[in-house]
Amino acid sequence: MITRTASITLHSLAKGFPIVAITGPRQSGKTTLARSTFPDKPYVSLEDLDTRAFANEDTRGFLARFAGGAIVDEAQRCPALFSYLQTRVDGEQRMGEFVLTGSQQFGLLSGITQSLAGRVGLVQLLPFSVPELQAAEVALPSLDVLLWRGQYPALYDRALAPTQWFANYVTTYVERDVRQIIEVQNLSLFQRFFKMCAARCGQLLNMTSMANDCGVSYKTIGAWLSVLEASYVVFLLQPHHQNFGKRLVKTPKLYFHDTGLAAYLLGITDADHLSIHPARGALFENLVIGEYQKQRFNLGLPSNLYFWRNNTGEEVDLLLEEGGKLQPVEIKSGQTFHTSFVEGLNKWIRYAGDTALPPQLVYGGEDSMVRSGVAVRSWRCMQEG
């Protein structure tokens, strides 16, 4: 089993919160993480119909079965559970008593914010990170294979072709999660929208254009996009507000939490196909930004990621906000370093002045180096140093 970085964070949170919660996309390993991190706690899943009926009909009696706490999987299936947990943990004041998991951001987080605010330490678990695979001595494939396969755990412990797994994943997602959150009357239109999101990966979000191309209203696009965000399928990277005397773009960019899913939706059939696909650069950018996001989430921290772009097209792919300072990260998919890669970074450094931290560049090559004052890192070790 591949050890998850978030396990250390969960142990730490369990010392200071009576409840810890793990949320994230389906099949990201939430249940495995909870059970391996807290092996002595009894486990119960509210996906089981009989168990869910018991929890909903007699919540107090359901919780009474677990005198020392428990792992409750898919906790949002029983909305009343959160209020009863509040009474329980407030009375007993024991840290790390319950562990909750949930796939739907709306259901789990709304229950936490309404009834358990201040009582829950939260970790958002995404698919494997590159450092997690490396620590487990999983032989990393070529960059193109990694982009095409993605990093969902199932594709690293089963003999499954990515196209087969993602086909079933998308079908399950559409049939279960979308219909549970909102009523989608025309699934084919939603599927078209889903693929449209993959085609616009790494681009500025233009919901009006998407509505026109999909043949639905702007409001519908907004609702569908919210579902994809809530289920940890896509995320929006916000522009940073620092203008340095320049007019800024105020529109977020659209990315996927896993490049393999985006590649599948784009109809990319294998790594060779991906290597020549026009979306390769966008998928590499998506991979790098996703890795920095996983690093934050695995520490139990919110995202501190932004991009910067002004109205003349000058841009920095990624900004990390650290204590009022900004670290710029440029992302280039090319396998050979060129001095032109760092020109935009050095120009931004001049704009930013004292607010800038040492710049970095992540590229698709194998060697790391320092060039023109910029730390150039291979995609295999992008977060080292």
Lowest mean pLDDT among 73-77, 143-147, 374-378, 380-384: 380-384
CA geometry: angle 330, 366, 336, nearest 5 deg: 65
Has domain 130-381 been given CATH number 1.10.10.10?
A: yes
Residue 383's contacts (CB-CB under 8 Å, 6 or more residues apart) are 131, 291, 292, 295
Lowest mean pLDDT among 109-123, 173-187, 213-227, 314-328: 173-187
Question: Could you tell me how far CA 369 lies from the centroid of its own chain?
Answer: 29
Query: Are 162 and 264 within 8 A, CB to CB?
Result: yes
Alpha carbons 292 and 228: distance in angstroms, whole number: 20
CATH number of 6-124: 3.40.50.300
Residue 109 has a CB neighbour count (10 Å cut-off) of 18
According to CATH, where is 3.40.50.300 located in the chain?
Answer: 6-124
Alpha carbons 145 and 162: distance in angstroms, whole number: 10
Handedness of CA 315, 263, 217, 238 (dihedral sign): negative
- The burial of 161, by beta-carbon neighbours within 10 Å (0-12 exposed, 13-18 middle, 19 or more buried), is given as exposed
The pLDDT of residue 312 is: 82
Tens of pLDDT, residues 266-286: 999 999 999 999 999 999 999
Going by C-alpha positions, the residue among 110, 230, 217 that lies closest to residue 180 is 230
Average pLDDT along the chain: 91
| Pair of tokens at residue 70 | 């428990």
Alpha carbons 210 and 197: distance in angstroms, whole number: 9
Query: Are 143 and 379 within 8 A, CB to CB?
Result: yes
Tally the residues of the chain. Answer: 385
Handedness of CA 54, 58, 59, 60 (dihedral sign): negative
Query: Are 119 and 89 within 8 A, CB to CB?
Result: yes
Query: Are 318 and 350 within 8 A, CB to CB?
Result: no
Going by C-alpha positions, the residue among 344, 326, 327 that lies closest to residue 383 is 327
What confidence category does residue 107 fall into, taking pLDDT thresholds of 50, 70 and 90? Answer: low
Tens of pLDDT, residues 1-42: 889 999 999 999 999 999 999 999 999 999 999 999 999 999
CA geometry: angle 340, 259, 155, nearest 5 deg: 135
Lowest mean pLDDT among 4-18, 171-185, 347-361: 171-185
Going by C-alpha positions, the residue among 37, 39, 84, 34 that lies closest to residue 62 is 84
The pLDDT of residue 179 is: 73
CA end-to-end distance (rounded Å), the chain: 27
Type of residue numbered 135 = A
pLDDT at 73 over 90: yes
Alpha carbons 100 and 208: distance in angstroms, whole number: 38
Distances (CA, A) of 90 to 69, 100, 108, 111, 298: 13, 17, 19, 16, 27
Alpha carbons 156 and 27: distance in angstroms, whole number: 12
Residue 300 has a CB neighbour count (10 Å cut-off) of 17
pLDDT at 217 over 60: yes
Q: How many helices (H) and strands (E) does the chain have?
A: 18, 13
Type of residue numbered 34 = A
Going by C-alpha positions, the residue among 173, 315, 302, 154 that lies closest to residue 244 is 315
pLDDT at 203 over 90: yes
According to CATH, where is 1.10.10.10 located in the chain?
Answer: 130-381
